[in-house]
Structure 1
Amino acid sequence: MGHWWERNILEPGKLPLLLALFSFVVTFVVTRVIVRLIRAGKGPFGNVKAGGLHIHHVVPGVVLTIVGGFGAVASDRHGAGGAIAAVVFGIGAGLVLDEFALILHLDDVYWSAEGRKSVEVVVITAALVGLLLAGFSPFGVNDLSQAELQDRGGVIAFVAVNFLISLVALSKGKARTAVFGAIVPLLALAGAVRLARPASFWARRFYGRRPRARARSLLRAYRHDRRWAGPRRVVQDWIGGKPDPSPARLPRGG
Protein backbone atom coordinates (compact mmCIF):
# COMPACT_ATOMS: atom_id res chain seq x y z
CA MET A 1 0.00 0.00 0.00
CA GLY A 2 2.82 2.38 0.88
CA HIS A 3 4.53 1.74 -2.44
CA TRP A 4 1.29 2.32 -4.37
CA TRP A 5 0.66 5.55 -2.45
CA GLU A 6 4.15 6.80 -3.21
CA ARG A 7 4.12 5.86 -6.90
CA ASN A 8 0.56 6.88 -7.83
CA ILE A 9 -0.34 9.71 -5.44
CA LEU A 10 2.74 11.41 -4.02
CA GLU A 11 5.24 11.09 -6.87
CA PRO A 12 2.94 12.33 -9.67
CA GLY A 13 1.76 15.15 -7.39
CA LYS A 14 -1.84 13.99 -6.94
CA LEU A 15 -2.04 14.70 -3.20
CA PRO A 16 -3.48 18.22 -3.74
CA LEU A 17 -6.13 16.75 -6.03
CA LEU A 18 -7.04 14.16 -3.39
CA LEU A 19 -7.24 16.85 -0.69
CA ALA A 20 -9.32 19.10 -2.93
CA LEU A 21 -11.78 16.28 -3.68
CA PHE A 22 -12.03 15.27 -0.02
CA SER A 23 -12.61 18.85 1.18
CA PHE A 24 -15.09 19.44 -1.68
CA VAL A 25 -17.25 16.43 -0.74
CA VAL A 26 -17.03 17.06 3.02
CA THR A 27 -17.95 20.73 2.56
CA PHE A 28 -20.99 19.85 0.45
CA VAL A 29 -22.19 17.24 2.96
CA VAL A 30 -21.66 19.52 5.98
CA THR A 31 -23.31 22.47 4.21
CA ARG A 32 -26.37 20.42 3.28
CA VAL A 33 -26.70 19.14 6.85
CA ILE A 34 -26.52 22.68 8.23
CA VAL A 35 -29.02 24.21 5.79
CA ARG A 36 -31.44 21.35 6.40
CA LEU A 37 -31.18 21.97 10.15
CA ILE A 38 -31.82 25.67 9.57
CA ARG A 39 -34.81 24.82 7.41
CA ALA A 40 -36.19 22.54 10.13
CA GLY A 41 -35.56 25.15 12.85
CA LYS A 42 -33.16 22.87 14.72
CA GLY A 43 -29.70 23.39 16.11
CA PRO A 44 -27.76 26.57 16.81
CA PHE A 45 -27.41 27.58 13.16
CA GLY A 46 -29.09 30.41 11.30
CA ASN A 47 -28.92 32.38 8.08
CA VAL A 48 -26.06 34.87 7.80
CA LYS A 49 -27.31 38.41 7.30
CA ALA A 50 -25.62 41.78 6.94
CA GLY A 51 -27.73 44.92 7.02
CA GLY A 52 -30.88 42.87 6.40
CA LEU A 53 -29.31 41.18 3.37
CA HIS A 54 -29.16 37.37 3.32
CA ILE A 55 -25.60 36.36 2.50
CA HIS A 56 -25.69 33.09 0.59
CA HIS A 57 -22.76 30.74 1.13
CA VAL A 58 -21.85 31.02 -2.53
CA VAL A 59 -20.32 34.41 -1.63
CA PRO A 60 -17.60 33.10 0.73
CA GLY A 61 -17.33 30.14 -1.64
CA VAL A 62 -16.31 32.40 -4.51
CA VAL A 63 -13.73 34.13 -2.30
CA LEU A 64 -12.24 30.82 -1.13
CA THR A 65 -12.19 29.43 -4.67
CA ILE A 66 -10.28 32.46 -5.93
CA VAL A 67 -7.83 32.36 -3.02
CA GLY A 68 -7.30 28.63 -3.32
CA GLY A 69 -6.99 28.73 -7.11
CA PHE A 70 -4.39 31.47 -7.19
CA GLY A 71 -2.64 29.89 -4.21
CA ALA A 72 -2.42 26.59 -6.06
CA VAL A 73 -0.99 28.28 -9.15
CA ALA A 74 1.64 30.05 -7.07
CA SER A 75 2.55 26.99 -4.97
CA ASP A 76 4.58 23.87 -5.52
CA ARG A 77 2.14 20.97 -5.85
CA HIS A 78 4.55 18.74 -3.91
CA GLY A 79 4.83 21.20 -1.00
CA ALA A 80 2.66 22.16 1.95
CA GLY A 81 1.51 25.35 0.23
CA GLY A 82 -0.05 23.40 -2.62
CA ALA A 83 -1.85 21.10 -0.18
CA ILE A 84 -3.27 24.02 1.80
CA ALA A 85 -4.37 25.82 -1.38
CA ALA A 86 -6.07 22.62 -2.58
CA VAL A 87 -8.07 22.33 0.64
CA VAL A 88 -9.12 25.99 0.44
CA PHE A 89 -10.10 25.56 -3.20
CA GLY A 90 -12.08 22.38 -2.46
CA ILE A 91 -14.00 24.10 0.35
CA GLY A 92 -14.79 27.09 -1.88
CA ALA A 93 -15.87 24.89 -4.79
CA GLY A 94 -18.15 22.90 -2.49
CA LEU A 95 -19.86 26.08 -1.28
CA VAL A 96 -20.21 27.48 -4.80
CA LEU A 97 -21.58 24.36 -6.47
CA ASP A 98 -24.00 23.73 -3.60
CA GLU A 99 -25.75 26.87 -4.85
CA PHE A 100 -25.10 26.28 -8.55
CA ALA A 101 -28.83 26.41 -9.30
CA LEU A 102 -29.05 29.91 -7.80
CA ILE A 103 -26.29 31.12 -10.11
CA LEU A 104 -27.87 29.41 -13.12
CA HIS A 105 -31.35 30.86 -12.54
CA LEU A 106 -30.23 34.12 -10.89
CA ASP A 107 -32.91 33.46 -8.30
CA ASP A 108 -33.19 31.83 -4.87
CA VAL A 109 -34.33 28.40 -6.06
CA TYR A 110 -32.41 26.45 -3.41
CA TRP A 111 -35.46 24.62 -2.07
CA SER A 112 -37.34 24.41 -5.34
CA ALA A 113 -37.37 21.67 -7.96
CA GLU A 114 -34.85 23.69 -9.98
CA GLY A 115 -32.49 23.51 -6.99
CA ARG A 116 -31.92 19.82 -7.71
CA LYS A 117 -29.50 20.91 -10.43
CA SER A 118 -27.01 21.78 -7.70
CA VAL A 119 -27.02 18.18 -6.47
CA GLU A 120 -26.57 16.87 -10.00
CA VAL A 121 -23.61 19.17 -10.67
CA VAL A 122 -21.92 18.25 -7.38
CA VAL A 123 -22.27 14.51 -8.04
CA ILE A 124 -20.96 14.86 -11.60
CA THR A 125 -18.04 17.04 -10.48
CA ALA A 126 -17.05 14.59 -7.74
CA ALA A 127 -17.22 11.72 -10.25
CA LEU A 128 -15.00 13.52 -12.76
CA VAL A 129 -12.41 14.50 -10.16
CA GLY A 130 -12.48 10.96 -8.81
CA LEU A 131 -11.79 9.71 -12.33
CA LEU A 132 -8.76 12.00 -12.61
CA LEU A 133 -7.56 10.85 -9.22
CA ALA A 134 -8.00 7.14 -9.90
CA GLY A 135 -6.41 7.23 -13.36
CA PHE A 136 -2.82 6.20 -13.90
CA SER A 137 -0.68 9.28 -14.52
CA PRO A 138 2.18 8.71 -16.97
CA PHE A 139 3.75 12.01 -16.01
CA GLY A 140 5.82 12.82 -12.95
CA VAL A 141 6.70 9.20 -12.14
CA ASN A 142 10.37 8.37 -12.47
CA ASP A 143 12.25 5.13 -13.21
CA LEU A 144 9.37 3.22 -14.76
CA SER A 145 10.13 -0.35 -15.80
CA GLN A 146 9.28 -1.60 -19.28
CA ALA A 147 6.30 -3.52 -17.90
CA GLU A 148 5.03 -0.39 -16.12
CA LEU A 149 5.39 1.62 -19.30
CA GLN A 150 3.38 -0.96 -21.23
CA ASP A 151 0.72 -1.11 -18.53
CA ARG A 152 0.35 2.64 -18.41
CA GLY A 153 0.35 2.87 -22.20
CA GLY A 154 -2.45 0.31 -22.36
CA VAL A 155 -4.43 2.21 -19.75
CA ILE A 156 -3.98 5.50 -21.63
CA ALA A 157 -5.14 3.92 -24.91
CA PHE A 158 -8.15 2.35 -23.18
CA VAL A 159 -9.09 5.64 -21.53
CA ALA A 160 -8.75 7.50 -24.85
CA VAL A 161 -11.07 5.06 -26.65
CA ASN A 162 -13.57 5.14 -23.80
CA PHE A 163 -13.44 8.94 -23.85
CA LEU A 164 -14.39 8.97 -27.54
CA ILE A 165 -17.28 6.58 -26.83
CA SER A 166 -18.40 8.87 -24.00
CA LEU A 167 -18.35 11.82 -26.41
CA VAL A 168 -20.72 9.93 -28.71
CA ALA A 169 -23.05 9.31 -25.74
CA LEU A 170 -22.82 13.01 -24.87
CA SER A 171 -23.69 14.01 -28.44
CA LYS A 172 -26.80 11.83 -28.10
CA GLY A 173 -27.97 13.95 -25.20
CA LYS A 174 -27.00 11.52 -22.44
CA ALA A 175 -24.83 13.70 -20.21
CA ARG A 176 -25.05 11.55 -17.07
CA THR A 177 -24.33 8.37 -19.03
CA ALA A 178 -21.34 10.04 -20.68
CA VAL A 179 -19.87 11.25 -17.39
CA PHE A 180 -20.32 8.05 -15.43
CA GLY A 181 -19.47 6.04 -18.53
CA ALA A 182 -15.99 7.51 -18.30
CA ILE A 183 -15.70 5.44 -15.10
CA VAL A 184 -17.83 2.44 -16.14
CA PRO A 185 -16.99 1.73 -19.81
CA LEU A 186 -20.00 -0.51 -20.47
CA LEU A 187 -22.29 2.34 -19.44
CA ALA A 188 -20.69 4.65 -22.01
CA LEU A 189 -20.97 1.97 -24.70
CA ALA A 190 -24.65 1.44 -23.92
CA GLY A 191 -25.29 5.18 -24.21
CA ALA A 192 -23.38 5.39 -27.49
CA VAL A 193 -25.18 2.56 -29.32
CA ARG A 194 -28.73 3.31 -28.23
CA LEU A 195 -31.10 5.88 -29.72
CA ALA A 196 -30.31 9.55 -29.18
CA ARG A 197 -32.59 11.84 -27.20
CA PRO A 198 -34.89 13.96 -29.41
CA ALA A 199 -33.29 17.36 -28.74
CA SER A 200 -29.67 16.16 -28.91
CA PHE A 201 -27.06 17.13 -31.48
CA TRP A 202 -27.05 13.56 -32.83
CA ALA A 203 -30.82 13.56 -33.37
CA ARG A 204 -30.75 16.93 -35.14
CA ARG A 205 -27.87 15.82 -37.34
CA PHE A 206 -28.89 12.26 -38.23
CA TYR A 207 -32.63 11.93 -37.59
CA GLY A 208 -33.77 14.94 -39.62
CA ARG A 209 -34.66 12.84 -42.66
CA ARG A 210 -35.52 9.68 -40.73
CA PRO A 211 -39.05 10.16 -39.34
CA ARG A 212 -39.24 6.62 -37.97
CA ALA A 213 -36.01 7.04 -36.01
CA ARG A 214 -37.21 10.41 -34.74
CA ALA A 215 -40.52 8.92 -33.61
CA ARG A 216 -38.76 6.01 -31.87
CA SER A 217 -36.45 8.49 -30.16
CA LEU A 218 -39.39 10.52 -28.83
CA LEU A 219 -41.19 7.41 -27.59
CA ARG A 220 -38.12 5.98 -25.90
CA ALA A 221 -37.28 9.30 -24.21
CA TYR A 222 -40.85 9.55 -22.90
CA ARG A 223 -40.78 6.01 -21.49
CA HIS A 224 -37.31 6.48 -19.99
CA ASP A 225 -38.21 9.76 -18.27
CA ARG A 226 -41.48 8.35 -16.93
CA ARG A 227 -39.68 5.29 -15.53
CA TRP A 228 -36.69 7.00 -13.94
CA ALA A 229 -37.96 10.45 -12.96
CA GLY A 230 -39.35 9.16 -9.65
CA PRO A 231 -36.29 7.20 -8.47
CA ARG A 232 -34.00 10.06 -9.52
CA ARG A 233 -36.04 12.53 -7.47
CA VAL A 234 -35.89 10.21 -4.44
CA VAL A 235 -32.09 10.05 -4.60
CA GLN A 236 -31.78 13.81 -5.13
CA ASP A 237 -34.15 14.52 -2.24
CA TRP A 238 -32.18 12.15 0.01
CA ILE A 239 -28.93 13.94 -0.80
CA GLY A 240 -30.06 17.54 -0.97
CA GLY A 241 -33.39 17.65 0.85
CA LYS A 242 -36.95 17.64 -0.45
CA PRO A 243 -37.89 20.86 -2.28
CA ASP A 244 -40.79 23.03 -1.29
CA PRO A 245 -44.08 22.31 -3.10
CA SER A 246 -44.65 24.53 -6.10
CA PRO A 247 -47.36 27.13 -5.53
CA ALA A 248 -50.58 26.45 -7.35
CA ARG A 249 -51.12 28.63 -10.39
CA LEU A 250 -54.39 30.51 -10.66
CA PRO A 251 -56.30 30.08 -13.93
CA ARG A 252 -56.13 33.04 -16.27
CA GLY A 253 -59.18 35.17 -16.68
CA GLY A 254 -61.11 35.31 -19.92
Structure 2
Amino acid sequence: MAAWFTAHVVATGRLPLFSFFVAFVVGFLLIRLSVRLIRAKVRWWPGNVRAGELHIHHVVFGIAFMLLGGVAALLVTERDGWPIIVAAALFGLGAALVLDEFALILHLRDVYWTEKGRTSVDAVFVAVALSGILLIGIRPFGWDEITHGGPRDGVVEVGLVALALVNLAGSVVSLLKGKIWTGLAGVFVPVISLVAAARLAVPGSPWARWRYQPGSRTLTLAVHRDERLRRPIIRLKIRFQEMIAGRHDLIAEPQVELPPVAHAPQPAPGAPRA
Protein backbone atom coordinates (compact mmCIF):
# COMPACT_ATOMS: atom_id res chain seq x y z
CA MET A 1 0.00 0.00 0.00
CA ALA A 2 2.84 2.37 0.87
CA ALA A 3 4.55 1.62 -2.46
CA TRP A 4 1.31 2.31 -4.38
CA PHE A 5 0.78 5.58 -2.49
CA THR A 6 4.33 6.70 -3.22
CA ALA A 7 4.11 5.78 -6.91
CA HIS A 8 0.62 7.08 -7.68
CA VAL A 9 0.22 10.03 -5.30
CA VAL A 10 3.57 11.36 -4.14
CA ALA A 11 5.55 10.74 -7.34
CA THR A 12 2.82 12.26 -9.50
CA GLY A 13 2.62 15.46 -7.45
CA ARG A 14 -0.88 14.74 -6.12
CA LEU A 15 0.02 14.76 -2.44
CA PRO A 16 -1.49 18.24 -1.81
CA LEU A 17 -4.68 17.21 -3.63
CA PHE A 18 -4.83 13.99 -1.60
CA SER A 19 -4.47 15.96 1.63
CA PHE A 20 -7.19 18.38 0.50
CA PHE A 21 -9.52 15.51 -0.45
CA VAL A 22 -9.15 13.65 2.85
CA ALA A 23 -9.55 16.81 4.95
CA PHE A 24 -12.58 17.87 2.91
CA VAL A 25 -14.41 14.55 3.33
CA VAL A 26 -13.52 14.19 7.02
CA GLY A 27 -14.41 17.83 7.71
CA PHE A 28 -17.82 17.46 6.07
CA LEU A 29 -18.63 14.26 7.96
CA LEU A 30 -17.56 15.79 11.28
CA ILE A 31 -19.54 19.01 10.83
CA ARG A 32 -22.62 17.05 9.78
CA LEU A 33 -22.23 14.85 12.85
CA SER A 34 -21.97 17.99 14.96
CA VAL A 35 -25.06 19.70 13.56
CA ARG A 36 -27.10 16.52 13.82
CA LEU A 37 -26.14 16.19 17.48
CA ILE A 38 -27.09 19.84 17.98
CA ARG A 39 -30.39 19.27 16.22
CA ALA A 40 -31.08 16.21 18.40
CA LYS A 41 -30.32 18.38 21.48
CA VAL A 42 -27.76 15.95 22.87
CA ARG A 43 -26.87 17.37 26.28
CA TRP A 44 -23.17 16.46 26.36
CA TRP A 45 -22.45 18.06 22.97
CA PRO A 46 -21.19 21.68 23.17
CA GLY A 47 -23.75 23.00 20.72
CA ASN A 48 -23.64 26.14 18.61
CA VAL A 49 -20.85 28.69 18.87
CA ARG A 50 -22.16 32.00 20.12
CA ALA A 51 -20.75 35.40 20.96
CA GLY A 52 -23.39 36.74 23.27
CA GLU A 53 -26.65 36.57 21.31
CA LEU A 54 -24.83 36.21 17.98
CA HIS A 55 -24.79 32.73 16.44
CA ILE A 56 -21.52 32.29 14.58
CA HIS A 57 -22.09 29.96 11.62
CA HIS A 58 -19.34 27.49 10.78
CA VAL A 59 -18.94 29.11 7.36
CA VAL A 60 -17.04 31.87 9.21
CA PHE A 61 -14.49 29.36 10.48
CA GLY A 62 -14.38 27.79 7.02
CA ILE A 63 -13.40 31.08 5.40
CA ALA A 64 -10.66 31.58 8.01
CA PHE A 65 -9.28 28.06 7.40
CA MET A 66 -9.35 28.56 3.63
CA LEU A 67 -7.47 31.84 3.86
CA LEU A 68 -4.91 30.36 6.24
CA GLY A 69 -4.38 27.23 4.16
CA GLY A 70 -4.41 29.06 0.83
CA VAL A 71 -1.87 31.69 1.83
CA ALA A 72 0.32 29.05 3.48
CA ALA A 73 0.25 26.95 0.30
CA LEU A 74 1.42 29.97 -1.71
CA LEU A 75 4.38 30.41 0.63
CA VAL A 76 5.45 26.74 0.68
CA THR A 77 7.95 25.88 -2.05
CA GLU A 78 8.28 22.11 -1.52
CA ARG A 79 5.32 20.15 -2.86
CA ASP A 80 5.87 16.86 -1.03
CA GLY A 81 6.66 17.81 2.58
CA TRP A 82 4.63 18.27 5.74
CA PRO A 83 4.08 22.04 5.30
CA ILE A 84 2.16 21.60 2.04
CA ILE A 85 0.23 18.68 3.50
CA VAL A 86 -0.92 20.80 6.44
CA ALA A 87 -1.72 23.79 4.21
CA ALA A 88 -3.79 21.68 1.81
CA ALA A 89 -5.58 20.01 4.72
CA LEU A 90 -6.49 23.39 6.21
CA PHE A 91 -7.82 24.53 2.86
CA GLY A 92 -9.85 21.31 2.46
CA LEU A 93 -11.30 21.60 5.96
CA GLY A 94 -12.26 25.21 5.33
CA ALA A 95 -13.82 24.34 1.97
CA ALA A 96 -15.94 21.65 3.64
CA LEU A 97 -17.24 24.12 6.24
CA VAL A 98 -17.99 26.74 3.59
CA LEU A 99 -19.77 24.42 1.14
CA ASP A 100 -21.76 22.85 3.97
CA GLU A 101 -23.44 26.25 4.31
CA PHE A 102 -23.50 27.00 0.59
CA ALA A 103 -27.29 27.38 0.71
CA LEU A 104 -26.96 30.07 3.38
CA ILE A 105 -24.57 32.02 1.15
CA LEU A 106 -26.78 31.52 -1.90
CA HIS A 107 -30.05 32.61 -0.28
CA LEU A 108 -28.52 35.03 2.28
CA ARG A 109 -30.59 33.54 5.08
CA ASP A 110 -30.46 30.45 7.27
CA VAL A 111 -32.12 27.66 5.28
CA TYR A 112 -29.84 24.93 6.63
CA TRP A 113 -32.51 22.35 7.54
CA THR A 114 -35.12 23.42 5.01
CA GLU A 115 -35.71 22.00 1.55
CA LYS A 116 -33.43 24.65 0.05
CA GLY A 117 -30.67 23.46 2.35
CA ARG A 118 -30.19 20.42 0.12
CA THR A 119 -28.22 22.72 -2.17
CA SER A 120 -25.35 22.61 0.31
CA VAL A 121 -25.19 18.82 0.22
CA ASP A 122 -25.34 18.85 -3.58
CA ALA A 123 -22.43 21.31 -3.66
CA VAL A 124 -20.38 19.08 -1.34
CA PHE A 125 -21.09 15.98 -3.42
CA VAL A 126 -20.04 17.78 -6.59
CA ALA A 127 -16.81 18.94 -4.94
CA VAL A 128 -16.03 15.42 -3.70
CA ALA A 129 -16.69 13.93 -7.13
CA LEU A 130 -14.54 16.46 -8.98
CA SER A 131 -11.60 16.33 -6.57
CA GLY A 132 -11.79 12.53 -6.51
CA ILE A 133 -11.68 12.36 -10.31
CA LEU A 134 -8.69 14.69 -10.40
CA LEU A 135 -6.99 12.68 -7.65
CA ILE A 136 -7.04 9.45 -9.64
CA GLY A 137 -5.39 11.24 -12.54
CA ILE A 138 -8.27 11.95 -14.91
CA ARG A 139 -8.04 15.37 -16.52
CA PRO A 140 -10.61 17.32 -18.54
CA PHE A 141 -10.85 16.26 -22.18
CA GLY A 142 -8.34 18.21 -24.25
CA TRP A 143 -6.39 19.43 -21.22
CA ASP A 144 -3.02 18.26 -22.55
CA GLU A 145 -3.66 19.66 -26.02
CA ILE A 146 -4.60 23.11 -24.71
CA THR A 147 -2.05 23.47 -21.90
CA HIS A 148 1.01 21.62 -23.20
CA GLY A 149 0.69 20.80 -26.83
CA GLY A 150 3.05 18.35 -28.45
CA PRO A 151 5.01 17.45 -31.52
CA ARG A 152 1.88 16.49 -33.44
CA ASP A 153 0.97 17.95 -36.81
CA GLY A 154 -0.48 21.47 -36.64
CA VAL A 155 -3.78 20.49 -38.28
CA VAL A 156 -4.25 17.62 -35.82
CA GLU A 157 -3.45 19.93 -32.92
CA VAL A 158 -6.00 22.52 -34.05
CA GLY A 159 -8.60 19.80 -34.56
CA LEU A 160 -8.13 18.39 -31.06
CA VAL A 161 -8.34 21.84 -29.50
CA ALA A 162 -11.49 22.62 -31.50
CA LEU A 163 -13.04 19.29 -30.44
CA ALA A 164 -12.22 20.02 -26.80
CA LEU A 165 -13.82 23.47 -27.03
CA VAL A 166 -16.96 22.01 -28.65
CA ASN A 167 -17.14 19.42 -25.88
CA LEU A 168 -16.73 22.17 -23.27
CA ALA A 169 -19.52 24.16 -24.91
CA GLY A 170 -21.73 21.06 -24.69
CA SER A 171 -20.99 20.83 -20.97
CA VAL A 172 -21.95 24.49 -20.48
CA VAL A 173 -25.25 23.96 -22.31
CA SER A 174 -25.89 20.81 -20.25
CA LEU A 175 -25.37 22.75 -17.03
CA LEU A 176 -27.72 25.50 -18.24
CA LYS A 177 -30.28 22.79 -18.97
CA GLY A 178 -30.10 21.68 -15.34
CA LYS A 179 -28.12 18.49 -15.98
CA ILE A 180 -25.40 18.97 -13.38
CA TRP A 181 -23.88 15.51 -13.26
CA THR A 182 -23.91 14.81 -17.00
CA GLY A 183 -22.55 18.28 -17.66
CA LEU A 184 -19.64 17.72 -15.29
CA ALA A 185 -19.02 14.19 -16.53
CA GLY A 186 -18.91 15.51 -20.08
CA VAL A 187 -15.95 17.70 -19.17
CA PHE A 188 -13.89 14.55 -18.67
CA VAL A 189 -15.58 12.10 -21.05
CA PRO A 190 -16.38 13.40 -24.55
CA VAL A 191 -19.77 12.91 -26.23
CA ILE A 192 -21.65 12.70 -22.90
CA SER A 193 -22.05 16.46 -22.71
CA LEU A 194 -23.01 16.72 -26.38
CA VAL A 195 -25.77 14.11 -25.99
CA ALA A 196 -27.04 15.82 -22.82
CA ALA A 197 -26.97 19.21 -24.52
CA ALA A 198 -29.07 17.90 -27.42
CA ARG A 199 -31.80 16.51 -25.17
CA LEU A 200 -34.62 18.37 -23.43
CA ALA A 201 -33.83 20.68 -20.53
CA VAL A 202 -34.92 20.08 -16.95
CA PRO A 203 -38.08 22.10 -16.13
CA GLY A 204 -37.14 25.13 -14.08
CA SER A 205 -33.58 25.26 -15.39
CA PRO A 206 -32.25 28.50 -16.90
CA TRP A 207 -32.49 27.05 -20.41
CA ALA A 208 -36.13 26.02 -19.89
CA ARG A 209 -37.03 29.47 -18.55
CA TRP A 210 -35.38 31.17 -21.51
CA ARG A 211 -36.47 28.87 -24.34
CA TYR A 212 -39.63 26.96 -23.36
CA GLN A 213 -42.84 28.95 -23.46
CA PRO A 214 -45.50 28.17 -20.80
CA GLY A 215 -47.98 25.65 -22.15
CA SER A 216 -45.78 24.76 -25.13
CA ARG A 217 -45.40 21.19 -26.37
CA THR A 218 -41.67 21.30 -25.62
CA LEU A 219 -42.24 22.21 -21.99
CA THR A 220 -44.92 19.53 -21.65
CA LEU A 221 -42.54 16.89 -22.99
CA ALA A 222 -39.78 18.11 -20.67
CA VAL A 223 -42.07 17.86 -17.63
CA HIS A 224 -43.25 14.37 -18.64
CA ARG A 225 -39.69 13.13 -19.16
CA ASP A 226 -38.57 14.70 -15.88
CA GLU A 227 -41.32 12.95 -13.90
CA ARG A 228 -40.78 9.61 -15.64
CA LEU A 229 -36.99 9.38 -15.72
CA ARG A 230 -35.25 11.99 -13.59
CA ARG A 231 -37.44 12.21 -10.50
CA PRO A 232 -37.00 8.54 -9.43
CA ILE A 233 -33.22 8.99 -9.59
CA ILE A 234 -33.46 12.23 -7.62
CA ARG A 235 -35.46 10.48 -4.90
CA LEU A 236 -32.78 7.79 -4.59
CA LYS A 237 -30.09 10.47 -4.40
CA ILE A 238 -31.99 12.30 -1.66
CA ARG A 239 -32.33 9.12 0.40
CA PHE A 240 -28.60 8.51 0.16
CA GLN A 241 -27.81 12.10 1.10
CA GLU A 242 -30.20 11.99 4.06
CA MET A 243 -28.37 8.99 5.50
CA ILE A 244 -25.25 11.16 5.70
CA ALA A 245 -26.50 14.71 6.15
CA GLY A 246 -29.95 14.33 7.75
CA ARG A 247 -33.41 15.44 6.64
CA HIS A 248 -33.80 18.88 5.12
CA ASP A 249 -37.57 19.13 4.83
CA LEU A 250 -38.62 18.93 8.49
CA ILE A 251 -38.47 22.70 9.08
CA ALA A 252 -40.62 25.18 7.21
CA GLU A 253 -38.97 27.81 5.07
CA PRO A 254 -38.32 30.98 7.09
CA GLN A 255 -40.71 33.73 6.17
CA VAL A 256 -39.18 37.08 5.33
CA GLU A 257 -41.24 39.89 6.85
CA LEU A 258 -41.55 42.86 4.54
CA PRO A 259 -41.96 46.37 5.92
CA PRO A 260 -45.46 47.84 5.56
CA VAL A 261 -46.04 49.86 2.43
CA ALA A 262 -46.79 53.51 3.11
CA HIS A 263 -49.73 54.68 1.01
CA ALA A 264 -50.07 58.28 0.00
CA PRO A 265 -53.13 60.01 1.54
CA GLN A 266 -56.10 60.10 -0.77
CA PRO A 267 -57.66 63.49 -1.52
CA ALA A 268 -61.14 64.17 -0.28
CA PRO A 269 -63.97 63.69 -2.77
CA GLY A 270 -64.32 66.72 -4.95
CA ALA A 271 -60.95 68.19 -3.95
CA PRO A 272 -58.81 69.49 -6.80
CA ARG A 273 -55.93 67.24 -7.91
CA ALA A 274 -52.43 68.45 -8.61
Question: Residue 216 of structure 1 is aligned with which of 214, 221, 226?
Answer: 221
Distance 1:226 1:13 in 2: 40
Gap change, CA 1:41 and 1:218, over 3 Å in 2: closer
Gap change, CA 1:34 and 1:107, over 3 Å in 2: same
Question: Residue 246 of structure 1 is aligned with which of 217, 234, 252?
Answer: 252
Match of 1:177 in 2: 182
8 Å Cα contact 2:111/2:254 also seen in 1: no
> C-alpha displacement at 1:204, in angstroms?
7.3
Gap change, CA 1:62 and 1:204, over 3 Å in 2: closer
User: Structure 1 residues 230-239 or 16-25, which shifts more?
Assistant: 230-239
TM-score after normalising by structure 2: 0.70
User: Structure 1 residues 48-57 or 233-242, which shifts more?
Assistant: 233-242
> C-alpha displacement at 1:170, in angstroms?
2.5
Match of 1:116 in 2: 118
User: What runs of 5+ residues in structure 2 fail to find an aligned partner?
Assistant: 145-159, 256-274
Match of 1:29 in 2: 29
Of Structure 1 and Structure 2, which has the larger fraction of its residues in helix? 1
Gap change, CA 1:204 and 1:66, over 3 Å in 2: same
Gap change, CA 1:201 and 1:38, over 3 Å in 2: closer
Match of 1:197 in 2: 202
Distance 2:208 2:195 in 1: 17
Q: What is the SS of the residue equivalent to 1:245?
A: coil
Which of structures 1 and 2 has the bigger CA Rg?
A: 2
- 1:227 and 2:232 equivalent? yes
Distance 2:111 2:9 in 1: 39
Alignment of 1:1-254 (within 5 A): 4-42=4-42, 43-76=44-77, 77-135=79-137, 166-180=171-185, 188=193, 191-198=196-203, 200=205, 212-224=217-229, 226-243=231-248, 244-246=250-252
> C-alpha displacement at 1:129, in angstroms?
0.8
8 Å Cα contact 2:167/2:191 also seen in 1: no
8 Å Cα contact 1:116/1:240 also seen in 2: no
Gap change, CA 1:62 and 1:248, over 3 Å in 2: closer
TM-score after normalising by structure 1: 0.75
8 Å Cα contact 2:138/2:188 also seen in 1: no
Match of 2:271 in 1: none
- The CA deviation string for residues 118-173 of structure 1, in whole angstroms up to 9 with x for no partner, is 1000000111111111125799xxxxxxxxxxxxxxxx99x958756544532433
Match of 1:144 in 2: none
Q: What is the SS of the residue equivalent to 1:135?
A: coil
User: Structure 1 residues 166-175 or 94-103, which shifts more?
Assistant: 166-175
User: What runs of 5+ residues in structure 1 fail to find an aligned partner?
Assistant: 140-155, 250-254
Distance 1:26 1:71 in 2: 21
Gap change, CA 1:214 and 1:6, over 3 Å in 2: same
Match of 2:268 in 1: none
Residue type of the partner of 2:75? A
Identity of aligned residues (%): 43
Distance 1:247 1:68 in 2: 35
Aligned residues: 231
User: Structure 1 residues 122-131 or 225-234, which shifts more?
Assistant: 225-234
